[in-house]
Every structure is written in C-alpha cells, then in structure tokens.
A and B are shown apart, each in its own frame.
Chain A
Amino acid sequence: MRHRLSFLILVALLVLAGCHRQDTVITSLAMLKGGKTFAVPTGTVADQFVLKKVPDAKIKYFNSALDCAIALKTGKVDMIGAGLSITEERAKKVLFSESYYPSGIAVLVKAGSVIPQQGGEMLRTIDDIKDKRIGVFLGSIHDAYAAKYYPQATILEYQSVADMLIALTTEKIDVAFYDDAALPDVLHSNKSVAIMAKNVFFASVAAGFKKNNDTLRQQFNAFLQEIIVNGIYNDMISRWMERGLTDMPEIKSSGKNGPLKVGVVNDIGLPSAIYKNGRVVGFDIELGERFAAYTGRVYIPVNTQFSSMLAAVSAGKIDMITSFMMITEERAKQIDFSDPYYASGASVIALKKNIAGFREEGEGMKKVSFLRKLSNSFYDNIILERRYMLILNGLKVTVIITVLAALLGTILGGLVCLLRMSKSAFWSATAAAFITLIRGTPVLVLLMIIFYIIFASVNINPVLVAVIAFGINFGAYVSEMFRTSIESIDKGQREAGIAGGFTKVQTFIHIIMPQALRTVLPVYKGEFISLMKMTSIVGYIAVQDLTKAGDIIRSRTFDAFFPLIMAAVIYLALAWLLTWGLGKVEISVDPKRKRIRKAVEVRL
C-alpha cells in the first residue's frame, strides 16, 4: 500500500503524565525496563518496535489510540504508543518520548493503477500540491497547516465544507484538505473525487469549553472515561466512523439540571453532524446528547458557524463545543479543551482526473439524460430526507425576521425621525449621529457586534438578535426617508392645520402623514425588499433561514444547483409578494383613487 515516503512525521511514544506532567517524567524507552506495561492500539507496528528495544515490556492492545490514552491516564498502563504525531501543540500538553518510528503517509490511489505519466499538472505526490490552489475549511487546523507547510500554494478558505467541495468539483481549487473520518461520506456522494494523500497529519479532536469552566470540563473528561470503559465509545466509533451508519440511538436525559447548550455545525458533514430527516445527527451530536444525559441536563444543539465557535463559547452563548474541533495552540489560548476524544487524520482530496494514474473505474459514470439528472437532483435536494421541511422552516424564519425587523425598524425610524426633526440641537445631533453610525456600518458587522459583544453574556434567541440588528439598520435608513417625505409636504399645510385648531400631533396625523405616506411608500417598498434579501446573512449567527437551509442541503448533496436556485426563486417570490402587497397600500393612500370611489358614491 505504501508507495513512497513522502512526508516524514515522527510517530512517537506518548507519555501522558497521570496527574501533573512534572511528576512522572518518562522520556526514554529504557525506562520501560523492569516489567512496565505498554499500551498500543491493535494493528500498528509500534508493539514490534517496542519489543525489539525492550524485550521484557508487557504489551496491552487497545482498540484505539484514545483508549490507550485513557488507560494511561487512569494508571492502567505506564506508557502508550498510539501512533500520534508529535506536534508543537501536543508537546505543550503532554510529554513525548524520542521518536520511535518514521511513518510514511500513503497517497490513496489503488495499487496497480499507477501508470507513469508525463505532464507536470498531474498530482503524483503530496509535494505536488505545494504550488496549487488548496481549499481549506475556514479556521480549521487544515487552514493553519496548509499555510505553514505550503507557503507557495494559494490557500482558499471556505465557510462551509459544501462550498469547498463544490469549489473542488468545479475546479476552482485543485485539492482540498479534509478530515479523513468524514471522507467516506464525501466520496460516496462525489464520484469524481478521490483521496490523493491519506492522513497527511493527525490532530486530536476534543470538546471545547469556556476558559476556567473547569467543572464542566472535568465532568466531560470523566464522562469520556466512563463511555470508553463501558464500551459505548467503541460502539459509537464503529457506527459513525467505520460503518458509516447514521442512525441516532434514543438517549433519555432527566433534564433536571437545566439546559446544556452545545455548539455544533449542523452541516459540517459526517461523522460530526449532518441533517437527516429534519434533524441533526452525527457522532458529535450523539456525544453531546450522551454527555447531557450523563449530567442530567437537556441537550440543546446550537448551530454555529465554525469560525465563530470560539467567540460563541467564550461569550457564553454556548456551554461547550463538540464539532470535531482539533486542538491547536491558538484555540487553546481562547478556550480550554477536554481530553481528546478522537485522533483525526487529515487527508488531501482532489478530482480523480487530476490525480496521476488514477484510472476511472466506470462506476457511477453512466450516461444519464439531462432531465433524468434534473429529476434525480430535485429528488435528492428537495424530497430526500424531507429536505423541503428545511426550506419551509428557513422560509418561516426569513419571513419572521423580515416582518419583525421591518416593524421594529419602522417604529424606531419614526422615533429617530422625530428626534432628528426636533428643535433641540442636542436630540437632532444625536439622531444624526445614530443615522451616520448605523448607515456607515455593514449590517453583518452590526449583527455580529450585537450578538457577540452586546448580548455576549445574555442568553438570547439569535432570531431576536437578528430582528434587533436588522431593525436598527432598517430604522436608520427609513428615518431619513420619513424625514425627507415629511419635509416635502409644504409648510403651509402644517400652518393651516395648526391655525385651524389642530394640535401639532393632530396636524401630523390628519394632514401631514397621509401625504408623507404617499411619497415615502415607493422608497420604503424598495428598502423593505432589500431588508428581506439582507436577512440572508443571519447564518453568521447560526440562525437557520432560507439561505442557510439551502447551505445545509448543499452540504449534504454537494449539489449547488437546486439549493441555490430554489433559494433564489423563493426570495424572488417573496420580493414579488411584498411589492404587490405594498403596491396595494400605495394605491389605497392615493387620494385620486379615493375620489373615483367618492364619485361613485355620489352617483349612487
């Protein structure tokens, strides 16, 4: 299977100090002499290596590297050789021995299918990617890795895995880094993609916690140990990682200790989390649910952008993260990690046709008619796993945010307009400053400021945050519209109203407003529609609106066409509906139309 030692990493003995790393320092294999126990995962070469060096060592075989680590931590063994790579970050947490085995990374192409080819564009070895376009998941460990080891490459960061895969299949990027554990799912749905280099490096996956939230973190560590000991962990690994099953077991929690909000990325893909039949399932979801049950709390998954996960947990929006997050030095500065619960390999994928010597096997490449493809695509994207429910729910959220934000914004806009037109220089200047400030800030930034800074420590529904942010933005814009339309009504009519005995407020309501309404409606209509379209960014604070629903489907099907076109069509329909509705209002405030009605009355 190994063709070439392309990338040398040092596989080392991991020595995990039982309690404090200062206490037990075992840095040499020689220390195993004297009947010490050595733990290794089955199927590695570490055992033979150790036995060669220390013949009297006792070897214990565990199912996974993590099991070994847990065993070490609980004192069941003295040393482990778990096939973990020495990384800078890990060296800070645990002590590594000298390297004991140089390990090669396999390029995943089938044996015997290598046909030496000329032509420099083909990808042969991992070295070939050094000047290519590499896709990574924004904020992931791959991102940092690619930047560090392939400085000449163009690194493109994607907000979602689906985007990255679509970029790969449409050749916007040449290769992509991807979690090895998640690859079977991806390769299954994308026949044109194959692994080009498997397990380029390893990284530990752990749960993340807010700094100094040791209680919860230690609870999690204890929980982890428990499920490893009682075999649940192995079962989970087997189901999610090895057999690729996607069925969630029923997990009951007493729920008496309140909610447990866990940050997840709903559409990150298997094995971590995916959408299936309208609910989120995955290894991380099951882990979270089990932990919630273990602590007697109610599991609440909070869908969060991966890139804003750290901010969310630091701000207390969520209690913890289980989203296949790998431990890095940088992240460890901001949050605390639990013990690792998985060692994930990072593989490099590319289009089959770009991998040197990869022979098409003909599977799934049958000629299909365009209509057939379209109907298949429709079925996969809309019908399968009741995905239309996602779209409907997303539509509902979009409509709720739009309507409430418009309502709030209109009221706020009226108030700001009132202040802006007030005789008091102070209030007028305050309102003007507010308008300048809000109009000069991108609404996305405003949205995130409100979510991550203003309501950082408040438990608030993100939909409400979206309503507030868009309401404020809408208010700033419409207040100026209100003002100009009010000022467009000649002052004489206001004076006539006041001289006629109306109070200022009555004059405004009966005389100015009906006329201002007529001039403001056409521009207001435009702003309303643009508000509706603007709400498509709420995915940034993990609100599942229409756009996000499309994203989620895209992440499952890796098909850009239907989810995007569907979203576009629904937005268009909404915009048309709004235009039509406000157009009705517009006509109803047109006095000329009223006269026709009056004239009819007279004739009657």
Chain B
Amino acid sequence: MISVRHLSKHFGDLVVLSDINADIREGEVITIIGPSGTGKSTFLRCLNLLETPTGGSIVIDGVPLLDKKTDVPKLRQKMGMVFQSFNLYAHLTVLENLTTGPVKLLSKSKAEAGQKAMELLKLVGLAEKAYSFPDELSGGQKQRVAIARCMAMDPEILLFDEPTSALDPTMVSEVLAVIRRLAKEGITMIIVTHEMEFARNISNRVFYMDEGVIYEEGSPQQIFGNPQREKTRAFIHRIRSFHHHIASRDYDLYALQAAIEAFCDKHMLLKKTKDHVVHIAEEVLGLQLTFNDVNLYLHYSEKDGTVEMVCDSAGSAVNPLEEGALSDDIALRLIRARTEKAEYRYKNGRNVLTLKMKGE
C-alpha cells in the first residue's frame, strides 16, 4: 500500500533522512521507535508531504506522491494525521471539528456528517463534549477528538506523530486505548511513539530508526526481545555507555577511576556496585599485556539495571580467562567472584573481554 524507496530529506546541510526504504501493506500497524532527532517524525511527515522530501520516491496505492500531476490534497483526504500537539481548529466546536472536513471536502450534508461525527465521538467517549470548544478540553480529550476528526474522513491510512508525548501521564492510557481500538478495525496505521509497551502490544512490525535510515525492522517480539543490532539493543535496553581509551602504559589510573565513579553516580548506581566496577576495572587493566591501544567500555542498562564492562585491546591473542595463561591468578579470581558472566573473544586482531557484573 505504501512503498518508500531511497527517501532522503536534508535541512540545509543537516541530513535527517539519508536512505529510507520501506513497504507497508494494507491493514498493517507499524510503530516507529528510535532516539530523538533521528528523523522519525520527519519520515512520517514526508508520507503526506507536510515535508517535501529531498530525494527518493513514495508510492501510495500505486500513486506516485512526488509526481507533479498527483492531486496531493485528494490523497491526503485518505490519510489522516494525528499530531503531538492535537492541532484542533480553535474556532470550531468539537462537533464542527469533525464535520468541517466531510462537509467541505467530501460534499456530505451537514446532517449526515453530524450524525457520523456523533457516532465517532461516542466511540472515543466524548459525545457529551460535542458543543464544547477545544480550549475547554483536557489534553487527552483533545487528542481523542483529533483522532475522531481523522476518522470522520473515512481514512485508509492513519499517521500518528507521537500522539501521547504532549500528554500528562494520567491521560496517556485513554488515548492509547482509543488507538488500540482503531487498530482492530483494519486501518493501516503508522505510529511514531516513545511508548515501548504500547508499540510492542499493538504493532505488526516495528521500525527502529537511527542514523537517518530504518536501522532495524522486525516483529515486536524480535525488536523488543532479541534486537539484532547494537544500537537497537542499546535503545531497547535503554543502555547508557561509558568509554575510555588508553594509549600508553603510563596512563592516569586515578583519573580513569574518577571518571568511572562519576558515570556510576550519574546513573545512580548503588555504592557497592560502583566500588565493584572501579575495582574490576583496575583488575582488568592489570591483566593487559600491552597498553598501546586499549578501549574500556561500561554499559549500564536502565531497563534491567545490569552493568557490562568490555575491554578490548590490540595485540596477539591471549585469553586471560584461561587458568595459568597469566602469572597473576588472584586478579582472575577476583574478577570471577564479582561477575556473573565472563567471555573472551579474539576478533579482528583484538582481544575482547566482556564481563557482566553481578546484580545486587
């Protein structure tokens, strides 16, 4: 139904979308997730040409959107859009917000449009607010009206641009409930959202966007349960990272320890965990044979509270985890005692040691 090829969008020198490719079938519910500023909203806005793409093609129902001859307003009538900031027409009542499109664009009679509007308002639970003005509604109510307004046009596609981001936490659920209900009716929906649980439950497919492309896509089970790529994983597990590079044997250990402590404090790790991390970092570095090119990483997952330490160094393959490989067994024992899991790999000429800290 929607086919996107090599879509790109630049704002001046800033490349927001570099190369988007996607196919969306009729009736699918797609959620788009990803860190802020990776072009999720821009991609959505390109789909109904609120933003004009810099390059590429978009075909909707076989109609090339970027063709000059295409009647874009006509096409947009079939694609509703729900905005983060609701964007209700401030001078019209709730009912008129719903009827103005059908009356003015679909040449429906006022009575017919009004009847349908009332049904939709009942559906979103706001029939009694029909004669209110938008400024008299709460955020959640406004967003439900906005969704009903889109539905009044009998759309084939609904685009949601972070529909709950501007809402009070107490109002998020009422809006999500309405979207869930619509999802069951077989309308093609593309939802940009930060509500991970919601995305996981509602969608057929999840797009993870990063670096201006669809970085990883798959079923919700795959994306949320077993993300394949590093950035996806980091995002899903809400991983915060720390990196330190060492280039000589005379590195400043105390400065490194202070930096690790600062990282742990920032993410509010327990003092015990912090002490362990600092200690193990020292021991891991003690295991290194050369210090010409050593990277030390810390990954803290906000989601499950785990801390992972990765140390990779250039040099010939030496597995420090093998008994007797090194002279100092005490360090190894210390490490084993304080980690849940320790792995060694030799990859691309680098020794990679991955340690998973024991939880509390």
| Contacting residues of chain A (482-520) with chain B, CB-CB under 8 angstroms | 489-490, 492-493, 495-503, 506, 510-511, 514-515, 518
Q: Please, how many angstroms separate the alpha-carbon atoms of A496 and B80 in the complex?
A: 9
Contact with A along B54-77 (1 / 0, CB 8 A): 000000000000000000011011
Answer whether residue A599 sits at the interface, using C-beta atoms and an 8 A cutoff: yes
Answer whether residue A30 sits at the interface, using C-beta atoms and an 8 A cutoff: no
Answer whether residue B83 sits at the interface, using C-beta atoms and an 8 A cutoff: yes
Answer whether residue B346 sits at the interface, using C-beta atoms and an 8 A cutoff: no
B50 partner, pick from A493, A495, A518, beta carbons under 8 A? A495
B side interface size, CB within 8 A: 31
Answer whether residue B101 sits at the interface, using C-beta atoms and an 8 A cutoff: yes
Which residues of chain B have C-beta atoms less than 8 A from A256's C-beta? Answer: none
Answer whether residue B234 sits at the interface, using C-beta atoms and an 8 A cutoff: no
Which residues of chain B have C-beta atoms less than 8 A from A602's C-beta? Answer: 131
**Chain B min CB distance to A498 (Å):** 7
Answer whether residue A279 sits at the interface, using C-beta atoms and an 8 A cutoff: no
Instruction: Determine whether the beta carbon of B131 is less than 8 Å from that of A493.
Output: no
Which residues of chain B have C-beta atoms less than 8 A from A515's C-beta? Answer: 90-91
Instruction: Determine whether the beta carbon of A499 is less than 8 Å from that of B92.
Output: no
**Chain A min CB distance to B133 (Å):** 6
Instruction: With A591-B133, A595-B133 as known contacts, state yes or no: A496 contacts B88, CB within 8 Å.
Output: yes
Instruction: Determine whether the beta carbon of B131 is less than 8 Å from that of A599.
Output: yes
| Contacting residues of chain B (18-60) with chain A, CB-CB under 8 angstroms | 48, 50
**Chain A min CB distance to B115 (Å):** 14
Residue of B nearest to A517 (CB): B91
Which residues of chain B have C-beta atoms less than 8 A from A52's C-beta? Answer: none
**Chain A min CB distance to B224 (Å):** 30
Residue of A nearest to B77 (CB): A501
Which residues of chain A have C-beta atoms less than 8 A from B80's C-beta? Answer: 499-500
Residue of B nearest to A503 (CB): B73
Answer whether residue A598 sits at the interface, using C-beta atoms and an 8 A cutoff: yes
| Contacting residues of chain A (235-254) with chain B, CB-CB under 8 angstroms | none
Which residues of chain A have C-beta atoms less than 8 A from B81's C-beta? Answer: 496, 499-500
Answer whether residue B164 sits at the interface, using C-beta atoms and an 8 A cutoff: no
Instruction: Determine whether the beta carbon of A592 is less than 8 Å from that of B133.
Output: yes
Instruction: Determine whether the beta carbon of A493 is less than 8 Å from that of B76.
Output: no
| Contacting residues of chain B (299-318) with chain A, CB-CB under 8 angstroms | none
Instruction: Determine whether the beta carbon of B153 is less than 8 Å from that of A493.
Output: no
Q: Please, how many angstroms separate the alpha-carbon atoms of A404 and B57 in the complex?
A: 51
Instruction: Determine whether the beta carbon of B91 is less than 8 Å from that of A502.
Output: no
Instruction: With A492-B85, A510-B104, A598-B131 as known contacts, state yes or no: A500 contacts B76, CB within 8 Å.
Output: yes
Which residues of chain A have C-beta atoms less than 8 A from B86's C-beta? Answer: 492
Q: Please, how many angstroms separate the alpha-carbon atoms of A502 and B100 in the complex?
A: 10
**Chain B min CB distance to A506 (Å):** 7
| Contacting residues of chain A (554-604) with chain B, CB-CB under 8 angstroms | 591-592, 594-595, 598-599, 602
Contact with B along A132-173 (1 / 0, CB 8 A): 000000000000000000000000000000000000000000
Instruction: Determine whether the beta carbon of A492 is less than 8 Å from that of B100.
Output: no
Instruction: Determine whether the beta carbon of B104 is less than 8 Å from that of A496.
Output: no
Instruction: Determine whether the beta carbon of A493 is less than 8 Å from that of B87.
Output: yes
Residue of A nearest to B78 (CB): A501
Q: Please, how many angstroms separate the alpha-carbon atoms of A595 and B153 in the complex?
A: 24
Answer whether residue B93 sits at the interface, using C-beta atoms and an 8 A cutoff: yes
Instruction: Determine whether the beta carbon of B93 is less than 8 Å from that of A598.
Output: yes
Which residues of chain A have C-beta atoms less than 8 A from B100's C-beta? Answer: 510
Which residues of chain A have C-beta atoms less than 8 A from B78's C-beta? Answer: 501
Which residues of chain A have C-beta atoms less than 8 A from B146's C-beta? Answer: 496
Answer whether residue B9 sits at the interface, using C-beta atoms and an 8 A cutoff: no
Residue of A nearest to B85 (CB): A492
Instruction: Determine whether the beta carbon of B104 is less than 8 Å from that of A502.
Output: yes
Q: Please, how many angstroms separate the alpha-carbon atoms of A592 and B133 in the complex?
A: 8
Which residues of chain B have C-beta atoms less than 8 A from A493's C-beta? Answer: 87-90
| Contacting residues of chain B (150-204) with chain A, CB-CB under 8 angstroms | 150, 153, 159
Answer whether residue B334 sits at the interface, using C-beta atoms and an 8 A cutoff: no
Answer whether residue B149 sits at the interface, using C-beta atoms and an 8 A cutoff: yes
Which residues of chain B have C-beta atoms less than 8 A from A499's C-beta? Answer: 48, 50, 76, 79-81, 83, 159
Instruction: Determine whether the beta carbon of B105 is less than 8 Å from that of A591.
Output: no
Q: Please, how many angstroms separate the alpha-carbon atoms of A594 and B96 in the complex?
A: 12
Q: Please, how many angstroms separate the alpha-carbon atoms of A203 and B100 in the complex?
A: 77
Instruction: Determine whether the beta carbon of B133 is less than 8 Å from that of A500.
Output: no
Which of A499, A515, A594 has the most chain B CB atoms closer than 10 A to its own CB? A499
Q: Please, how many angstroms separate the alpha-carbon atoms of A367 and B224 in the complex?
A: 107
Q: 10 closest pairs, A vs B, by CB?
A: A501-B77, A496-B87, A492-B87, A499-B81, A501-B76, A591-B91, A503-B73, A515-B91, A514-B91, A492-B85
Interface set of B (CB-CB < 8 Å, partner A): 48, 50, 73-74, 76-81, 83, 85-93, 100-101, 104-105, 131, 133, 146, 149-150, 153, 159
Contacts A502-B105, A602-B131 known; 13 new A-B pairs at CB < 8 A: A490-B85, A496-B83, A496-B87, A496-B88, A497-B89, A500-B76, A501-B105, A501-B153, A506-B104, A511-B89, A518-B91, A595-B131, A595-B133
